[in-house]
Amino acid sequence: MQLGRILYHRLLRRHGIDLTRLSATGRAPLDDVLDAAAAAWSAIRILVGMAATLPDPPELVDGYSVAIWL
């Protein structure tokens, strides 16, 4: 596992997303699994009202609110 993936995995685990029980025989690439876990973490934060946006406030582009949620 590359250093970036290891750090990504540790960061997710520190925030309650534990992927250590996943099987290495799965079909999804590890990068995709890590990205999906990060999206789930963001969704949980949005749901409970803890999320923030970058930029704050979000930019309007063609009438749509555009930001990164974390």
* Span 33-53, pLDDT tens digits: 889 999 999 999 999 999 999
Instruction: Please tell me the predicted confidence (pLDDT) of residue 19.
Output: 86
Q: Among residues of the chain, what percentage have pLDDT more than 70?
A: 94
Longest dimension (CA), the chain: 44
Q: Among residues of the chain, what percentage have pLDDT more than 90?
A: 49
Q: What angle do CA 55, 58, 59 make, to 5 degrees?
A: 100
Instruction: Please tell me the predicted confidence (pLDDT) of residue 43.
Output: 93
> Is the pTM here over 0.75, yes or no?
no
The DSSP annotation for 16-64 comes to T---TT--TT-SS-HHHHHHHHHHHHHHHHHHTT---EEEEEEEEETTE
What is the overall mean pLDDT for the chain? 89
Q: What is the rounded distance in angstroms from the CA atom of residue 51 to the CA atom of residue 38?
A: 13
| CB-CB contact of 40 with 16 (8 Å) | no
